[in-house]
Amino acid sequence: MSSVDFTGELTGRRVVLGLSGGAACFKAAELCRLLIKAGATVQVVMTEAACRFITPVTMQALSGRPVLVSQWDDREPNDMAHINLTREADAIIVTPASADFIAQLAQGRAGELLALLCLARPMARVPLLIAPSMNREMWAHPATQRNLHQVARDGANVLGVGDGEQACGEVGEGRMLEPEELMGELIACFTPQSLIGQRVVITAGPTFEAIDPVRGLTNLSSGKMGFAIASAACEAGADVTLIAGTVARATPRGVERVDVVSALDMQTAVVSAVADADIFISAAAVADWRPADLAEQKLKKDGSGHVPHLTFVENPDILSGVAHSPRAQAGDLFCVGFAAETENLRANAQAKRARKGVPLLVANIGPATFGRDDNALLLVDDEGETELPRASKRALARQLITEIARRVSGVDA
């Protein structure tokens, strides 16, 4: 089951889901389910080999539409399913794409309906995504790699593969990407490339400030908002580096991740990452203070009721430091800050923006969002205030990226 809620993200989109022969056909069933939940209309097209691994009945039940296998299917009034389907589609995704099917595409062969409609698609309007799946030796074979390069040169978006256990019992590259990853790739096809060529650094999650070897100070941030922003920025074409605090979350596909623990760790990572960045988004909940001294051994209670005396020092202000750096001051680095407040949201957000010296500050009520999948945001800048009503963090992340792109480019994204 997917850990990401894609509900409504593909509303109105028409997707042709192609299946060629391979053990990974079972993943296509989950992908179909996710596509339907996301609001897409899904037309499944299968090769005869695919029908050996999963039945058309299963895919018809999931998609709610008759599955097509043969180019001679007379259910199409004009007997031209390859034309009708591609003219109606917004995208075609083949998952799994076997070595044989990839070879067919590379050679321009059209012996089956699925290959035929890939060949007949309007290339300028209908993207073709290929999700390979095969044994590791087949994947590494020069013929397969040559075919993949040719298919990419011919205009298809050839996706990567996973590395791990395979159905044959061997281990290595060649596993098809997971349905959730494929959803991200498909959604990216429909996302305006408003940050193409931009280098974006994002911080997310809490920091952990150690008291002794087993205890420390942290906060309730889940990192969901920062991770959603990283995913949205990547979908918009940016080169994204995500500096993550102490959270156990899957790294968004296409994002470079740097894991840190403390505020000092995060500061070091940020300073290095923003040296050649264009945009810095400080979404992490960085601890304001840390213990002045780290106990070498666990601080134990002795039954006396005595509580150890702890002295704290202030952590560096990472956002303010970056915002006041020469590159940011020269306008070469656009800085975005986050403020998690508990009261007086507007007044505190305005004050924090002025204090930090950032062009855009994003504020929310912390207790109303920590750990949740939804949020409501208030954007504060020189133009005034913009409210983003409560929605999923994924939806808000895309809205925020659009707002940032508009400010960076000076035109509507």
Instruction: State the Cα–Cα distance between residues 10 and 183, nearest whole angstrom.
Output: 10
Give yes or no for a contact between 252 and 184, defined as CB atoms under 8 angstroms apart: yes
For the record, the structure tokens of 292 come out as 């002045």
Q: Choosing from 25, 51, 118, 168, which is the catalytic residue?
A: 168
Which residue, chain included where needed, has tokens 């969901």?
224
Residue 124: count of CB within 10 angstroms of its CB: 7
Q: What share of the chain in percent tops pLDDT 70? A: 98
Least confident of 8-12, 99-103, 303-307: 303-307
Average pLDDT, the chain: 92
- Residue 412 pLDDT greater than 60, yes or no: no
The pLDDT assigned to 1 comes to: 54
Assign 6 a pLDDT band (cuts: 50, 70, 90).
confident
Beta-sheet strands, E only, within 81-180: 91-97, 128-132, 157-158, 162-165, 171-175
Mean pLDDT computed over 92-117:
95
Neighbour-count burial for 180-199, b at 16+ CB within 10 Å, e otherwise: bbbbbbbbbbebeebbeebb
pLDDT, tens digit, for every residue of 381-403?
988 899 999 899 999 999 999 99
199-293+307-409 CATH, one of 3.40.50.10300, 3.30.70.20, 2.30.110.10, 3.30.360.10: 3.40.50.10300
- Residue 77 pLDDT greater than 80, yes or no: no
Give yes or no for a contact between 90 and 35, defined as CB atoms under 8 angstroms apart: no
The pLDDT assigned to 200 comes to: 98
Does 234 participate in catalysis according to the annotation? no
pLDDT, tens digit, for every residue of 87-102?
889 999 999 999 999 9
What is the fold, at CATH topology level, of the domain defined by 14-189? Rossmann fold (3.40.50)
Assign 79 a pLDDT band (cuts: 50, 70, 90).
low
Beta-sheet strands, E only, within 166-272: 171-175, 199-204, 209-210, 216-217, 239-244, 256-259
Domain ranges of the chain: 14-189, 199-293+307-409
- Residue 76 pLDDT greater than 80, yes or no: no
The pLDDT assigned to 17 comes to: 98
The pLDDT assigned to 70 comes to: 87
Instruction: State the Cα–Cα distance between residues 404 and 406, nearest whole angstrom.
Output: 5
The pLDDT assigned to 413 comes to: 45
Order of strands, sheet of 239-244, starting from the edge strand that comes earlier in the sequence: 256-259, 239-244, 199-204, 279-282, 334-341, 360-365, 374-381, 384-392
- Higher per-residue pLDDT: 384 or 149: 149
Domains 14-189 and 199-293+307-409 in one fold: yes
pLDDT, tens digit, for every residue of 221-258?
999 999 999 999 999 999 999 999 999 998 998 999 99
